[in-house]
């Protein structure tokens, strides 16, 4: 007689199951055996090693965290199931390789993005610093030109005009830019060309009172 609760075979005269202690139900006598338990192989879950490996490879080649993180998470979960005997051991190498590639792909892409952002920020800071330095130089040139304008001719000045003013040789080119002046009697136009990038320029005019106006920026200074 088979127990309807645990399928243990008992003596025909038994009233209680010798295995689980449950009462034996009439009608379970006979030679019919319970349904066979599934084999260990049939009970294992299907592994995802191939998919995890594919995700890992693609994360290295192109998609980074988009597929790297899923490969990492899926690989970690499946490896736990393999160690627990729920997934065939044959899936371990594929799963482990895919997870490792996913981790590498994720970190490589994240580090690459961080470097790109850092370089972009550094470049922006460098451009701003260069622009500010050029503006400071132009203000100094304007002050120098105005001092020339108000000095009398006897003191090598312009006697009320800018005529004859030239940018001193040591200030025509420095680490910030190259400076050129177009001089008229009552106005000077300065053009500054960045030493870092020649398309970055500043054009400004100095009026008769030494004030700068009409600032025009080109290139990355815009």
Comparing 4-18, 34-48, 95-109, 181-195, which segment has the lowest mean pLDDT?
34-48
pLDDT at 168 over 50: yes
Instruction: Please provide residue 15's backbone torsions phi and psi, each rounded to the nearest 5 degrees.
Output: -100, -20
8, 2 in Cβ contact below 8 A?
yes
pLDDT at 37 over 80: no
At 143-160, the pLDDT tens digits run: 999 999 999 999 999 999
Alpha helices in 84-163 (DSSP H): 92-150
At 86-112, the pLDDT tens digits run: 888 888 888 888 899 889 888 888 888
Whose CA is closest to 6, among 48, 46, 37?
37
pLDDT at 200 over 70: yes
Q: How confident is the model at residue 62 (pLDDT cuts 50, 70, 90)?
A: confident
Surface-to-core class of residue 21, CB atoms within 10 Å of its CB (0-12 exposed, 13-18 middle, 19+ buried) = exposed
Given this model, what pLDDT does residue 30 score?
A: 44
Whose CA is closest to 142, among 209, 88, 200, 85?
209
Share of the chain above pLDDT 90, in %: 44
pLDDT at 79 over 50: yes
């Amino acid at each position: 007689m088979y127990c309807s609760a645990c399928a243990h075979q008992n003596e025909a005269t038994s009233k209680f199951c010798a295995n689980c202690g449950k009462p034996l139900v009439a009608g379970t006598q006979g030679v019919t055996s319970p349904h066979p338990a599934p084999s260990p192989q049939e009970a294992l879950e299907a592994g995802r090693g191939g998919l995890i490996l594919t995700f890992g490879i693609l994360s290295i080649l192109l998609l980074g965290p988009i597929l790297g993180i899923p490969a990492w998470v899926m690989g970690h979960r499946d490896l736990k199931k393999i160690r627990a005997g729920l997934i065939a051991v044959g899936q371990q190498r594929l799963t482990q390789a895919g997870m490792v590639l996913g981790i590498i792909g994720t970190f490589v892409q994240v580090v690459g993005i961080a470097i790109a952002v850092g370089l972009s920020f550094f470049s922006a800071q460098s451009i701003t610093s260069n622009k500010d330095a050029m503006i400071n130089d132009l203000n100094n040139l304007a002050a120098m030109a105005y001092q020339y304008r108000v000095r009398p001719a006897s003191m090598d000045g312009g006697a009320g005009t800018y005529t004859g003013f030239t940018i001193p040789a040591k200030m025509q080119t420095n680490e910030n830019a190259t400076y050129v002046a177009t001089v008229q009697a009552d106005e000077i136009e300065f053009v500054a060309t960045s030493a870092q990038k020649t398309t970055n320029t500043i054009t400004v005019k100095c009026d008769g009172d030494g004030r700068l106006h009409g600032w025009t920026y080109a290139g990355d200074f815009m």
